[in-house]
A = this chain, B = another copy of it.
């Protein structure tokens, strides 16, 4: 039914707003209900419990981001892994800037969840990080990136750099530097850091 899909989405949207405002633990189910304009009990028709809302939110929203970034990589990065990293970084920072509330939730709650809801396994998040290591591996096959770079370390370092940087805007929304500038800065550092140079 259309109703059903509607309400599920409305609740997730409301939860993003409320969690971003108060944090997961300080948010009350009643807050989400009010924001989504449904009764408290209705939430439990779509989610098992409060944790389940957070987990669903993570998986669904990160799922959307993955689709977006993959589309963008296909259409705008060609086959150049340097360009791909640039596209990934720019998309990540833009998304974090456009969807401020979602960004806050991801930054604040994802880590806790990783630990306390281990049963759920944040599979989508892993998938997101694996896009980065995939790019690195491709670049290594193409002889563009150094062979000694560990993709599994790089993906975390690159994501960590982007994530920590974007917190700047989430916390203080008046950028001193533009998103594009920052994305360039970071991507340049990482590309220069792993590119094969003549003298080496």
Using a CB–CB cutoff of 8 Å, the interface residues on chain A facing chain B are: 22-23, 25-26, 104, 107-109, 111-112, 114-116, 149-150, 152-154, 156-165, 167-168, 171, 176-177, 182, 185-186, 188-195, 197
With contact pairs A149-B185, A153-B186, A185-B153 given, residues A104 and B115 touching in the complex (Cβ less than 8 Å): yes
A111 near B108: Cβ-Cβ < 8 Å: yes
A189 near B156: Cβ-Cβ < 8 Å: no
**How many copies of this chain sit in the oligomeric assembly?**
4
Cβ–Cβ < 8 Å partners of A22 in chain B: 116
A158 near B156: Cβ-Cβ < 8 Å: no
CA distance A115 to B171 in the complex (A): 8
| A–B complex contacts, Cβ < 8 Å, 24 sampled | A23-B112, A25-B25, A26-B116, A107-B111, A108-B111, A111-B167, A114-B167, A152-B176, A153-B182, A153-B185, A153-B186, A154-B185, A156-B167, A157-B162, A157-B185, A157-B189, A160-B162, A160-B163, A161-B164, A164-B164, A188-B193, A189-B189, A192-B193, A197-B197
